Amino acid sequence: MKRSNRLIMLIGLFLAAIAFVGIILVLGGGQNNTSPNGIDANKTTYIVAAADIPLGTTVTAEMIETKDVKTNDKPPTAYTVAGDAIGRTTTAEVLTGQVIGPATFSATTGGGVDISKLLDPGKRAMSIQVDQVSGVGTLVKPGDRVDVVVGIAGADKFPVVTTDPQTDQVSIVPGINATSVKAIIQNLQVVGTLLPPPTGEQPAASAEPGAPTLNGQAQIVILAVSPQEAEVLRFGQIDGTITLVLRSPDDKDAPNEDTTGITLRQLVDSWAVVPPQVVETVLPKQTAR
């Protein structure tokens, strides 16, 4: 009888142990982190470059790949979804195996970036300062392509002179519009940008909530140029004003477009701008007081 009781007790203890183990597994205490769909919670993936990606390249699916790691080993800023990178333009050179994340598409140049390494052979880095009007709202970022438009104005820049045949005295003809505008260089690559803090008094913000405002923000844009292009740009900086025109990333290999340049004569002759006409009128006589 005692043997039977002991056997029953052992069987009960065995069944209780099995039930306890089952409860532990159900509650996840058995270190089984596999979800119902078969994904291991201890592992994850992140996006890296499958090959070297040059500055200013639009990322495609073939340029990236996923890397499987333990969850704790994933870089904190790495993208985990390919869609976060595909279709965006790199603002820095990305090497094979390098992590793809927000810094890959940053709007400004990081302090650790070596600009000289981003230049093609024969190119130099040259900086120009623009603002929200002349710099596309200071939205230009590394990797973008831009055209440079120069504007020169003032009778002292393009004077129209005449010579008195009697005295040979040279004089400037007043009232002549001396403004000239031209797209002087096309398809320059932006290799860096900096946003210095605004200086001076800032205009009051718009009363309309969420409306963009002009706040005088300046931007330094660093362009990759040839020595000849650097000379042309520097002349434009000294004797005129420079405006950047942002290009589509699909225009990277597009040929330069011929432009005429614009003066007042061009606007009248080619763009149908109507010049003002002289209006003759008789002034009323003034009576003596």
Question: What's the length of the chain?
Answer: 289
pLDDT computed for residue 30 by the predictor: 47
CATH number at 86 reads 3.90.1210.10
Judgement on whether residues 123 and 228 belong to the same structural domain of the protein: yes
SS3 state at 37? coil
Amino acid at 259: T
pTM, entire model: 0.67
Whether residues 122 and 249 share a domain: the answer is: yes
- Exposure string for 53-86, b = 16+ CB within 10 A, e = fewer: bebbbebeeebbbeeeeeeeebeeebbeeeebbb
Same domain (yes/no): 169, 247: yes
Residue 177 inside a domain? The answer is yes
- Regarding whether 177 and 122 lie in a shared domain, the answer is yes
Residues 148 and 225 occupy one common structural domain: yes
Name the domain count of the chain: 3
Residue 207 has what pLDDT? 46
In a shared domain, residues 143 and 252: yes
Distance in angstroms (rounded) separating the CA atoms of residues 129 and 141: 13
> Which parts of the chain have pLDDT scores under 70?
1-7, 21-22, 24-41, 107-112, 196-214, 288-289
- Could you list the residue range(s) of the whole structural domain that residue 22 is in? 1-32
Query: What pLDDT is recorded for position 197?
Result: 62
Domain membership of residue 203 (yes or no) is no
Segment 210-238, tens digit of pLDDT: 555 667 788 999 999 999 999 999 999 99
Among candidate residues 105, 127, 159, the one where a domain is terminated: 105
pLDDT given at position 26: 59
Residues 75, 141: one domain? no
Asked if residue 125 and residue 167 are part of one domain, the reply reads: yes
In the chain, which ranges are continuous DSSP H helix? 2-26, 227-239, 264-270
Please state, in angstroms and rounded to a whole number, the distance separating the CA atoms of residues 236 and 233: 5
pLDDT computed for residue 283 by the predictor: 80
| 183 within domain boundaries | yes
pLDDT at 146: 96
